[in-house]
Structure 1
Amino acid sequence: MRIKRATVNIMSFISVLSLIIGFFLMPESRGQINNGLLLTLSIIVSTNVVLFLIVMKSCFGTVLNFQTFFLIGFLIVHFQIPFYNAIGIPPQNPRFIWANPNVVNFGTWMSYMGGLIWIVGNYVGIIFKGQSKNVYARNNKSANLAILDGLIIILFVSFIVLVGSAFLSGAYDGGKNWGAGASYVNVLLRVAICLRIFYFFYNYRFNRSKISLKTYASKNKLFLIVLFFYLIIFMNAGDRGPLIESGVLILSCYSFFIRSVKIWQLVLLIFIGSSFLTILKLGRGKDSSKQGSILERGFEALFENDSNTTEELASSVRIVYKAVDQVPVQHDYLYGLTMFMDIATAVPFAGGFVIQTFSIPEIYRSSTYFFTITGQGTFYTYGEGSEILGDIYINFGLIGVFLLMFLFGIYVSRISLKAFIDGNFKNLLIIFMMISTAIYMNRSVLFFPLQLIVYTLILDKFIKFFGKNLEK
Structure 2
Amino acid sequence: MEQIILLLFMLCGYIVAYAFVPNVVDINTLAILLIGMGVSLLIFFSKPETNKNLKNQKIRASYIFVIGFLIVNFQAYIDLIFEKVSINDIDLWVDITIINESAIISSVGLLSFLLGYSVKRIIPFPERNFKIYCYPTKFLKLLSLFFLVLYFYFVNPAYLKGGYALFDMGASAKYLALAFNASIFAIYVQESRNIINNKIKIKNFYDFIKHVGLLSFLLVTIYLISVLLSGDRGPIITYSMLIFGSYLFINKPKYSSLTIIIYSVSIALVLTLLGFARKMITEDSLVEKLKLGVNAFNDNASSSIFPMTKELSGSVNTVHYVVSYIHKNHDYFYGMFQIRQLIDAIPFSGTIFGRLGLINYNNTKYNGIAEFITWIAQGDNSTYGNGASIVADFYLGFGILGVFLGMLFFGYFMRVVDEKMYGKSSISTVWLTIALVYFSNAIYISRSFVLEGTKAIVMILFLLLLNNLLLGKIYRFKR
TM-score range, shorter chain: 0.7 to 0.9
Aligned partners of 1:272, 1:293: CA distance in 2, in Å? 27
Deviation at 1:237, TM superposition (A): 2.2
Paired letter, 2:91: F
CA RMSD of aligned residues (A): 3.0
Instruction: Tell me the equivalent position of 1:391.
Output: 393
Take 2:393 and 2:288, find their aligned partners in 1: how far apart are those partners?
34
Q: Give 1:184 shift.
A: 1.1
Rate the CA distance shift 1:38–1:332 in 2: closer, same or farther, 3 A.
Answer: same
Query: Is the CA contact 2:300–2:310 (under 8 Å) kept in the aligned structure 1?
Result: no
Which structure 2 residue ranges, 5 or more long, are not aligned? 302-306
Q: Distance in 2 between matches of 1:71 and 1:400?
A: 19
Q: Does 1:431 align with 2:422?
A: no
Contact 1:53/1:67 (<8 A) preserved:
no
| 2-structure distance, mates of 1:174, 1:139 | 45
- Which stretch of the first structure deviates more once superposed, 266-275 or 349-358? 349-358
Distance 1:457 1:297 in 2: 47
Question: In the TM superposition, what are the counterparts of 1:254-333 in structure 2 within 5 Å?
Answer: 254-258=247-251, 259-284=253-278, 289-291=283-285, 300-307=294-301, 308-333=307-332
The change in CA–CA distance for 1:154 and 1:92 in structure 2 (over 3 A counts) is: farther
Q: Does the Cα contact within 8 Å between 1:29 and 1:103 map onto a contact in 2?
A: no
How far, CA to CA, are the matches of 1:98 and 1:210 in structure 2? 52
- After superposition, where does 1:365-376 map in structure 2 within 5 Å? 365-376=367-378
Structure 1: 4+ residue segments shifted above 6 A: 293-298
Q: Secondary structure at the match of 1:442?
A: helix
- 1:238 to partner: Cα distance: 1.8
Q: Deviations over 1:228-265 (max 9, x none)?
A: 21212212222112101111222333334222333322
In 2 relative to 1, CA 420–274 (structure 1 residues): closer, same or farther, beyond 3 Å?
same
1:215-238, Cα deviation, whole Å (9 max, x unpaired): 554451121211221212212222
- 1:217–1:314 Cα change, 3 Å: closer
The answer to whether 1:42 aligns with 2:40 is: no
The runs of 5 or more residues in structure 1 that have no matched partner are 1-8
Q: How far off its partner does 1:106 sit?
A: 0.9
Alignment CA distance shift 1:355-1:314 (3 Å): farther
| Aligned equivalent of 1:123, options 118, 135, 141 | 118
Partner of 1:157: 149
| Residues 134 and 197, structure 2, Cα contact 8 Å, conserved in 1 | no
Q: How many residues align?
A: 459
Query: What amino acid maps onto 2:470 in structure 1?
Result: F
Structure 2 match to 1:350: 349
Whole-angstrom distance in 2 between the partners of 1:164 and 1:344: 28
Name the CA shift for 1:104/1:421 in 2 (closer, same or farther; >3 Å): same
- Please name the residue that 1:107 is paired with: 102
Name the % identity: 23
Residue in 2 that maps onto 1:5 = none
TM-score (norm 2): 0.86
- Pick the aligned partner of 2:224 from 217, 231, 235: 231
* 1:196 matches 2:196: no
- 1:339 paired with 2:338, answer yes
**CA positional deviation for 1:11:** 2.9
- Aligned-pair distance for 1:268? 2.2
* Alignment-mate amino acid for residue 306 of structure 1: N
Deviations 1:371-424 (A, max 9, x none): 222232212222222111111111211112112221222233234434532442
1:172 and 2:163 are equivalent in the alignment:
yes
Aligned twin of 1:362? 364
